[in-house]
Structure 1
Amino acid sequence: MSASFTEKCWEIFNRSIADYHVHDNVDQPMNNPHEEGTIEATLYHKNWIDTVQWHFEDIIRDPQIDPVSALALKRRIDASNQDRTDMVEEIDTWFREKYADVEVADDAKINTESPAWAIDRFSILALKIYHMREEVERTDVSPEHHAKVSAKLAVLEEQHTDLSTAIEELLEDFAAGKKYMKVYRQMKMYNDPALNPVLYKQSK
């Protein structure tokens, strides 16, 4: 029996996370093991972006961080967010092409969330589980801390089951024509010099 789409995602996401943590350095290059142009390569790249940004967010919360370094890091986080959005749109385009020939039922409904944005949450969930498991495995914490993080890990594991089930059911509905999808390009105005008033007023 072949793996489901979410099982494949989970394997790829966890491979990406493990690869990152070999060196655990936000500046290390990505070495994508999948063939360029495949959905597997896109999923790996998507999670790599998420993993690096996860650690950006840790670093910028250091109370001793130099303000100049913090501003430079904020710029990198902004760029990473844009890359993440672009990658989600690329995954949604793949889904749209995959289901392009499906005959949509007359009473088909549109989902509140596109498949790729659900996959985005799935990628972040993989990171949450990885890092919460690290907390569970710590030996330098109190029993209270260990009990608290163990309970949180159990909830995350349950969420993994629920979210993977929901994604699979959504994909089944697309394949059966019970639901249809649209790809809405994200319109992040603050990144666009023509739409951010702080930026375009400076150019006048």
Structure 2
Amino acid sequence: MTFAQQCNRIFDETVALYHLTDDVDFKPQNPYSANDPAHTLFAKNWIDAVQWHLEDIIRDPEIDPVEALALKRRIDRSNQERTDMVEEIDTYFLEKYAGVTPLPDASINTESPAWAIDRLSILALKIYHMKAETERTDASEQHLAKCRAKLDVLLTQREDLTAAIDRLIDDIAAGRKFMKVYRQMKMYNDPSTNPVLYAGK
């Protein structure tokens, strides 16, 4: 099984595990050892699953404004955690292939392996929920047909992205591509770079 295929397996299992409780406050036990990249993949997808449902909740037109603000702050924290975990996955690849000498004609990719894997994680959630839409008994046939067509596209997208990620990893290992990771440097979360935060000092 390739690395990207392992990601898909972990993400699908994690999404299914989340939906056993469907509780944004449930804290699961990570089934993987801390030094295994699968540990970070599980934790990252769990955060994605929770955030997916927080985004649903916050769109309730009847939501209490105070609760909505608390949810918005929680989503902001979640986004920062997701970013940190993506960078942790990229660090794994940087260290793993640190000894590879890029070929003279080696090129850089438009995104790092981890940011592509981040898209796989979100795709696992899209596929799960779109599949659920195709199984609704309270929806019209038109809705079901539309969702089946979308599900087909999502499955094809995952197949293509999985192959592209594995090619990228193979290219990095062989020196045909090289990694150059730019950290996200989110300014709005940093009290020293967000004018609204540092202006009040």
> Residue in 1 aligned with 2:74?
76
Q: TM-score, normalised by structure 2?
A: 0.98
- Give 1:37 shift: 2.1
> Residue in 1 aligned with 2:173?
175
Q: What is the letter of the counterpart of residue 19 of structure 2?
A: H
Counterpart pick for 1:107 among 102, 105, 108: 105
> Residue in 2 aligned with 1:27?
25
**C-alpha distance in structure 2 between counterparts of 1:30 and 1:178, whole Å:** 39
- Give 1:98 shift: 1.0
Q: What is the letter of the counterpart of residue 101 of structure 1?
A: G
> Residue in 2 aligned with 1:135?
133
**C-alpha distance in structure 2 between counterparts of 1:202 and 1:98, whole Å:** 44
- Show the 5 A alignment for 1:2-81: 3-81=1-79
Unaligned runs of 5+ in 2: none
Unaligned runs of 5+ in 1: none
Q: What is the letter of the counterpart of residue 51 of structure 1?
A: A
Aligned residue pairs, count: 201
The SS at the match of 1:31 is coil
Counterpart pick for 2:92 among 80, 91, 94: 94
- Show the 5 A alignment for 1:162-201: 162-201=160-199
**C-alpha distance in structure 1 between counterparts of 2:153 and 2:181, whole Å:** 31
- Show the 5 A alignment for 1:149-160: 149-160=147-158
Identity %: 64
The SS at the match of 1:190 is coil
The SS at the match of 1:191 is coil
Q: What is the letter of the counterpart of residue 64 of structure 1?
A: E
- Give 1:172 shift: 1.0
The runs of 4+ residues in structure 1 deviating greater than 2 Å are none
Q: TM-score, normalised by structure 1?
A: 0.97
Deviations 1:9-53 (A, max 9, x none): 011001111111111000000211111121011110110111110
Q: What is the aligned-residue RMSD (CA, Å)?
A: 0.7
